[in-house]
Each structure stands twice: as C-alpha cells, then as structure tokens.
Structure 1
Amino acid sequence: MREVELRNQHEEREARFKRLLRLLNTSQFYVKYLVDKIDNQHEKLKETLEKQKARGKKRVHTEETAEPVRRSGRQANKENDTEPPPAKKAATGRRKRASTRKSVLSSAG
C-alpha cells in the first residue's frame, strides 16, 4: 500500500513539474518575443527622431543662408492665414441614434 501511494505521489509531482517547466518555457518565449518587439519599436523611434533632427538642421541651415524655402500651395496658404480654422460642427450621432430608435419603435408597434 505504502509503495503505491509513494509511486502515485511521485508521478503527480513529476506531472506537476513537467507542467510548470512547460509554462516556464512558454513564459520565457513570450517575454523574449515582447522584448524583441519593444527593441524593434525603440529602433524605429530612434530612426524617426534622427530623421526629424536632420530635417530640423536643414531648416536651420536654410534660414541662416536666407534662402527662401519653397512650400507647396497648401502649406503656403496655412502659413499666410491669420484666421483660426473654422470650428467643427456638432456631432450628428445623437440625431442618428434617435431616428433609429423611432424606426425600431414604430416597426415593433
């Protein structure tokens, strides 16, 4: 009897150990995946910031030499506008929902 109980306990421990080991390996794999993903995003961000710095240096350089920087029509208009942009209209979502409710109520009645 005692041997059977010990064997069962040993098998249960072994099964639990294997499950925990599998969980640990899965967790480590996922953590590595997340770290790689964060590193890639960090690299992209660094590249973007470097590009922005380079653009900023070009602008400073062109301003120092007093050469006019050509802008597209839309950008030029934005810079020349002194008026603030027009205010956005109120959202029409409520009216739409109310009309939907009315149609549902009328079809149910």
Structure 2
Amino acid sequence: MTSNQKTNSRLDYGLVMILILLFLASCVAIYSAQTTGQYGSENFLIKQIIWYVIGAGIIAAVITLDSDQLQKLSWYAYGFGLVLLAGLIVAPSTIAPVINGAKSWYRVPAMGTLQLPS
C-alpha cells in the first residue's frame, strides 16, 4: 500500500465538506459585516482566510503522522503550551497586553492576537 492511499483512507470527506461550508459562511458573514465601514481600514476577511490556510496546513501535517509519532510529539506540544502560559506571566505589556482584565493574549505583529486559555 502506498503512502498516498494511506493518507486518502484517513481523510473524511464529509468533515472536509463541513469545514469548507463553515469557511464560506464565515467569509460571507465577515464580508457583509465590514460593508458598513465601522471597523475602519482593517480587513478581517483577509485575516480569516490566512488563519484558515494556516489551520489547513496544520491539519495536513498532522494527518500524515501515525499515532506513535503523534504520541511522541504530544509531550513537546504540551511543553510548548506550558512555556507559552508561563511566558504570559513575565512578558511585558507590549507583547502580552491586559485585555478585558485578563493577561491571556499574545500580540503577534502583522497577524493580530493569539489567546491562550488561562
């Protein structure tokens, strides 16, 4: 069995179709919300598309791994998450500002903000 056949057998086409429909619905909703001009010149539609492309890349990378590889990588991902959470404590307010009374956001230049559960 080739690796291409193994990858295709793991792909759930119903789930892919639901994700595409959610992508289209969110893009239409964001586009229609921006037509009033209340958000200024910031284009949230482009950001939404960029984050969907990043998410699709992550999904494609994870789907190529088998369960043993995912289990080994899970410890590194867990450690990375802990480092990000600990970094919120010591990060200056330019990198991790207090938003709505909580310091649980990282400000990423040119991409916006990234929220961590606290």
Global fold match (TM > 0.5): no
Name the one with the larger helix percent. 1
Which structure has more relative contact order (CA 8 Å, sep 6+)? It is 2
Q: Which has the larger radius of gyration?
A: 1
Name the one with the larger strand percent. 2
TM-score (norm 2): 0.27
TM-score (norm 1): 0.29
